[in-house]
Structures are given as C-alpha cells and as structure tokens.
Amino acid sequence: MPVIFANAPGKIILFGEHAVVYGQPAIAIPVNQLKATARVMPNPLGQPGDIRIQAPQIQLDASLADLPVDHPIAAAVRLAFQAASINQPPAFTLQISSTIPISGGMGSSAAVSIAILRALTNFFGKPLTADQISALAYTVEEIHHGTPSGIDNNVIAHQKPVVYRRDQPIEFLSVKQPTHWVIGDTGETTPTHETVADVRQHFQANPKRFSTFFEQIGDISRQAQPGLIDGDLPLLGRLMDQNQCLLEKMGVSSPTLEHLIQAARMAGAVGAKLSGGGRGGNMIALAPSENAAEIKAALIDAGAKQVFTTILTKGRES
C-alpha cells in the first residue's frame, strides 16, 4: 500500500463571529497558504490494529490504543474507521503536521481533523464528500469547543468562501472583484470555548442587549455579501469597523488586538477587526491593493508575531 497524504487549509472569518453561534450569518474564507497535513504510512510488519500517531508540534508520539477516546486526534481517526466501515485496520503510522497557528482563530483544529479524515478514508479506498467530511469534523470540533457553530469545518472542508448560517444549507460566495486582506497574529491566545462561554454568560445575564448585538452583526454579514462579490472597499471597510465596535462591546476584543487594528487603519487599511474567538488570536484588515505591503510592515512594527496576506479572488482564495 502506498503512503497517502491529504491537506486541509486554514481559514479566517471576515464577518459574524460569535453572532454565528446564535443563528446569525457569518462569512469565512479558506487561507490556502496555511495547511494541515496528514500522512498515512502503512506498516506491513506490524500487527493489525497497531496504529502509531505522531504529531511532533504537540509532542505527541503514541499508540492510538493509549489515547483517551475524547482525544481530538484519536476521535478523528476512529470516526474515519467508522465512516470507511473498517473494523480491523491494518498497521500504519499517521503523521500530522500543520503550518496553521494553534488557537489563533485560523481553524487549526478543524483543519487537522479534516486532513486526518481525508487521508484515512482515501487510504481505505472510501473517499467522502466535502459535506460528509465536514459533518464528521464537526463532531471532533465539539470535543475542542463544546458548542461550535460549524463554520470552521464547513469552510475548510469545502475550501471555498462561504456564508454560513447554523442549520441552513451552506452558501458559496462567487467573487467578481478581488480583495486583499492582511492578517496579523497577536501571539496571544484565549481558547475559543472560553470566549464563547463568556459571551453566553453575558447573553444570559442581559439577553436583550446581547440579542441586539447579534442581530446587528447578522445585518453586517448580510450587507457584506454583495460588497465582497463586487469588491466594494468603502462599504466593506465601514462594515468591518462596525463589526469590531460590536465585538468590543461584547467584551471579546483586547488591547493587543486593538493596537494592531489601529496600526492597520493608520497604514491605510479601509477597515479592520478581530477575527475568530477574540481576546488574542488574529485581526484582519482590508487593504487597498497598493497598500497591502505597507499594512503588513505596519503590523510587524506594531508587534504582530506573524502576518499573512491573502487575496479573495473569483470563486476562490489564493
């Protein structure tokens, strides 16, 4: 049996984080220059069921049998066995690596699950559709995040810009005009389940105020859709700033995020906001094409630990 490998990209949320957990639409795009990779190497000398999992970046080198059932990597592997109807897997080593920052709001956990699911189901000759992969990755996301909205597994499994709304068919964005985005990593991390839990607590204490925030963010996502298709920078910039303002009121921003957001605006970004769970992780700025390099430099000067640029182009992201 040959070595089989599969990749899955990172992702970034443009509009609608947190509100998406409460049924509002959110927009996310894949970030193809970042990726998780899973490599399945058959071990013809091993006993059936003898499965080794290696993920050096998280210091993991263990037998599958020794990993707890709720270990996200073990869960993804076992879900792949089920999906491919494999009761007695042959011996193999699964190697996992990723260039996606961990806990940075760029979908590293969903991308790792999806790379594993793809690699193993291909290895067993039972490839799955993007929807099937997304549904399985969602169950692993529940282990990581408790109550994920499902946006990460969807955008990463489909590898297309999406408008995502809980329990609704996924919509893809067909972009006519390219837009340039600069992503700055604060280097600080707060697990998404923590910020999601805090927002839930505030929502429960003050349902009227927080429902209004969620609805306003939902409106922003709806208005942003035609703006993204047509590359309407002034509209998108304004909507990003409004979205950031609401996220600040909801308590998920942070001084470091705001410092980078301000630096991007000063360097010519038409709008900027945090992206993902917040209180650290990444911010994203919309750049006039001629300013992207300047904004990138300004973010590095302002202390960003890593900066990525990405272009949202016709029907895909590059």
- Positions marked catalytic: 152
Q: Which is nearer to ligand PMV, 76 or 120 (CB)?
A: 76
Between CA 221 and CA 305 the distance in angstroms is 28
Between CA 279 and CA 195 the distance in angstroms is 8
User: Minimum Å distance from CB 147 to ligand PMV?
Assistant: 7
Which part of the chain contacts ligand PMV (CB under 6 A), choosing from 55-63, 77-85, 141-149, 200-208?
A: 141-149
Candidates 8, 77, 79, 151; binder of ligand PMV (CB under 6 A) is 151
Between CA 208 and CA 64 the distance in angstroms is 47
Assign 184 to helix, strand or coil: strand
Q: Which is nearer to ligand PMV, 120 or 156 (CB)?
A: 156
Residue 156 tokens read as 């990463």
Residue 296 tokens read as 């990138």
Which part of the chain contacts ligand PMV (CB under 6 A), choosing from 10-18, 35-43, 93-101, 306-314?
A: 10-18
Q: Which is nearer to ligand PMV, 24 or 122 (CB)?
A: 24
Residue 280 found at the interface with ligand PMV (CB under 6 A): no
User: Minimum Å distance from CB 68 to ligand PMV?
Assistant: 22
Q: Which is nearer to ligand PMV, 43 or 189 (CB)?
A: 189
Instruction: Return the residue matching tokens 């969807």.
Output: 154
Residue 218 found at the interface with ligand PMV (CB under 6 A): no
Q: Which is nearer to ligand PMV, 17 or 317 (CB)?
A: 17
Q: What Cα–Cα distance (Å) separates residue 23 from each residue in 131, 147, 162, 276, 289? A: 19, 12, 15, 16, 33
Which part of the chain contacts ligand PMV (CB under 6 A), choosing from 11-19, 72-80, 81-89, 256-264?
A: 11-19
Q: Which is nearer to ligand PMV, 192 or 310 (CB)?
A: 192
Site for ligand PMV, residues 101 to 130, rule: CB under 6 A: 105, 107
Pairing between strand 26-42 and 92-98? Answer: antiparallel
Q: Where are the alpha helices (DSSP H) in 40-127?
A: 72-83, 108-123
Residue 241 found at the interface with ligand PMV (CB under 6 A): no
First vs last C-alpha separation in the chain: 33
Candidates 148, 161, 184, 227; binder of ligand PMV (CB under 6 A) is 148
User: Minimum Å distance from CB 302 to ligand PMV?
Assistant: 21
Candidates 17, 198, 232, 241; binder of ligand PMV (CB under 6 A) is 17
Candidates 4, 8, 14, 20; binder of ligand PMV (CB under 6 A) is 20
Residue 192 found at the interface with ligand PMV (CB under 6 A): yes
User: Minimum Å distance from CB 104 to ligand PMV?
Assistant: 8
Residue 53 tokens read as 């999992």
Say if CB 117 and CB 96 are below 8 A apart. Answer: no
Q: Where are the alpha helices (DSSP H) in 85-168?
A: 108-123, 130-145, 151-158
Instruction: Show the 3-state SS of 268-315.
Output: CCCEEEEECCCCCCEEEEEECHHHHHHHHHHHHHCCCCEEEEEEEECC
Candidates 276, 284, 296, 298; binder of ligand PMV (CB under 6 A) is 276
H/E segment holding residue 95: strand 92-98
Residues that bind ligand PMV (CB under 6 A): 13, 17-18, 20-21, 105, 107, 145, 148-149, 151-152, 192, 196, 276-277, 281
